Every structure is written in structure tokens, then in C-alpha cells.
Amino acid sequence: MSTYDIWRTFADSWGLLAMFAFFTATALFVFRPGSKAHYDEAAQIPLKHGSED
């Protein structure tokens, strides 16, 4: 079995599982309770100093 076949088999099975776990963890982190205030504050950063034109 060549190196390519080993990596392909790994990606077909465990790679998909790892990507799904990463996506799920990221979604849970972003939509966790109590994060709205943090994201609202970060959204206002470009508007804090007003227009510099």
C-alpha cells in the first residue's frame, strides 16, 4: 500500500469525522449563551472613532 493510499483512506474515514467535530465545536462556541454582548461590542469597533474622512 502506497503512502497516497494510506492518506486517502485516513481522509475518507477519520478526516471527515475530524472536520465534522471541528465544525460542531466552532458552531457551539459561536452560538454559546452569553456571547451576544461580546459580538455586539466587537461589531461597534469600526464605529467608535467616527468618520475620519
Assign residue 50 a region (left: φ > 0; alpha: ψ between -120 and 50; beta: otherwise): left
* pLDDT per residue as tens digits for the range 1-50: 899 998 898 888 898 899 999 999 999 999 998 888 888 998 899 888 76
pLDDT value of position 47: 86
Q: Calculate the dihedral angle through the C-alpha atoms of 41, 42, 47, 52, rounding to the nearest 10 degrees.
A: 140
Q: How far is residue 25's CA from residue 17's CA, in Å, rounded to a whole number?
A: 12
pLDDT value of position 52: 63
Q: Calculate the dihedral angle through the C-alpha atoms of 28, 32, 37, 38, rounding to the nearest 10 degrees.
A: -40
